[in-house]
């Protein structure tokens, strides 16, 4: 009799185990399918927005990553609740308990709340987008991701900076319009200033015709400074965003070559040895 009861009990236990395992397997498969479909729908939706020029490309990437994160967190919460139900646990009691614990933690996590609130307004006011060149939280670089808690900024040396949103007190966005290229060229006091300016302006005019990155100028605005051994002449141009540095490098190269061709000296330190 005991043997028969043990056989029934073990059989029922095995059957129950197989049923629970089957439900878990179905839940996992459903989770993976819904996640893949959801991500595809979100990505396609933002791709259509970018195609129709409803949003800028940087704004599209920013909102897409934020939407994917929110979707993933929501789906994981639903999946965890489903697993609790499969194992016969009451998720409502656990959720209520988690809410009380979360409230208690919230009083000690004011920094996290500040991060989320600040991140919300950064996104709402479109202060920065993915791909922008910004100065924020004491860091210069290109924005790689903007979230509700942190902003990821890649420095020009390759360092990836994780900046809590509460530390972003001021944002300088260098990617909202044309940028200025500024070059200072020195000539010696023995050279003719008007001749040097004329030579430089010819170079600037030729470069403006050849380089489509230049929006306005370059223009030689005149003598900027009188140094100890040189006269500093300033050149200014407006360029496409993020092209100012390459235009400055090209200007310096061509201006130096033109000045040398016209025997206009670019001064550099000299040493004189006197033998008594």
pTM of the model: 0.55
State the chain's mean pLDDT as an integer.
77
Beta bridge partners of 171: 136
Q: Domain 179-262 has what CATH class? A: alpha beta
Q: Tell me the pLDDT tens digit for each residue of 75-106.
A: 787 777 777 777 766 666 555 555 555 554 55
Higher pLDDT, 104 or 29: 29
CATH of domain 132-173: 2.30.30.60
pLDDT at 234: 92
The mean per-residue pLDDT over the stretch 25-29 comes to 79
Q: What is the pLDDT of residues 32-71, one digit of tens each?
A: 888 888 888 877 777 776 666 655 566 666 677 767 777 7
pLDDT digits (tens, 9 = 90+) for 63-72: 777 677 777 7
pLDDT tens per residue, range 205-227? 888 888 888 888 788 888 888 88
Least confident of 96-105, 184-193, 227-236, 264-273: 96-105
Range in 87-91, 176-180, 206-210, 264-268 with the lowest mean pLDDT: 87-91
Query: What is the model's pLDDT at position 47?
Result: 73
The full 3-state SS of 53-92, as one line of letters, equals CCCCHHHHHHHHHHHHHHHHHHHHHHHHHHHHHHCCCCHH
Per-residue pLDDT, 9: 52
Q: Which of 34, 56, 184, 63 lies closest to 123 in space, CA to CA?
A: 63
Tokens 């100065």 sit at which residue? 135
pLDDT at residue 168 greater than cutoff 50:
yes
Q: What is the pLDDT of residue 189?
A: 86
Say what the alpha-carbon torsion angle 55, 60, 62, 65 is, to the nearest 10 degrees: 150
């Amino acid at each position: 009799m005991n043997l028969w009861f043990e056989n029934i009990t073990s059989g029922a236990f095995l059957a129950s185990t197989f049923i629970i395992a089957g439900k878990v397997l179905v839940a996992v498969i459903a989770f993976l399918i819904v996640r893949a479909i959801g991500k595809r729908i979100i990505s396609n939706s933002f791709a259509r927005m970018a195609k129709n020029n409803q949003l800028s490309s940087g704004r599209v990437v920013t909102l897409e990553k934020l939407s994917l994160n929110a979707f993933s967190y929501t789906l994981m919460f639903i999946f965890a609740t489903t697993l609790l139900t499969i194992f016969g646990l009451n998720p409502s009691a656990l959720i209520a308990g988690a809410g009380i614990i979360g409230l208690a933690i919230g009083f000690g996590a004011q920094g996290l709340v500040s991060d989320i609130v600040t991140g919300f307004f950064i996104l709402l006011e479109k202060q920065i987008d993915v791909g922008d060149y910004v100065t924020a939280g004491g860091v210069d670089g290109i924005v790689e991701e903007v979230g509700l808690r942190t902003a990821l900024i890649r420095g020009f040396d390759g360092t990836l900076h994780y900046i809590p949103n509460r530390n972003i007190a001021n944002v300088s966005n260098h990617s909202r319009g044309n940028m200025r290229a500024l070059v200072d060229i020195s000539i010696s006091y023995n050279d003719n200033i008007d001749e040097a300016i004329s030579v430089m302006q010819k170079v600037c005019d030729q470069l403006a015709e050849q380089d489509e990155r230049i929006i306005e100028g370059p223009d030689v605005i005149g003598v900027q400074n009188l140094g100890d051994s040189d006269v500093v002449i300033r050149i200014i141009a407006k360029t496409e965003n993020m092209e100012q540095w390459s235009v400055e490098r090209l200007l310096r190269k061509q201006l130096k070559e033109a000045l040398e061709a016209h025997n206009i000296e670019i001064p550099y330190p000299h040493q004189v040895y006197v033998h008594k």
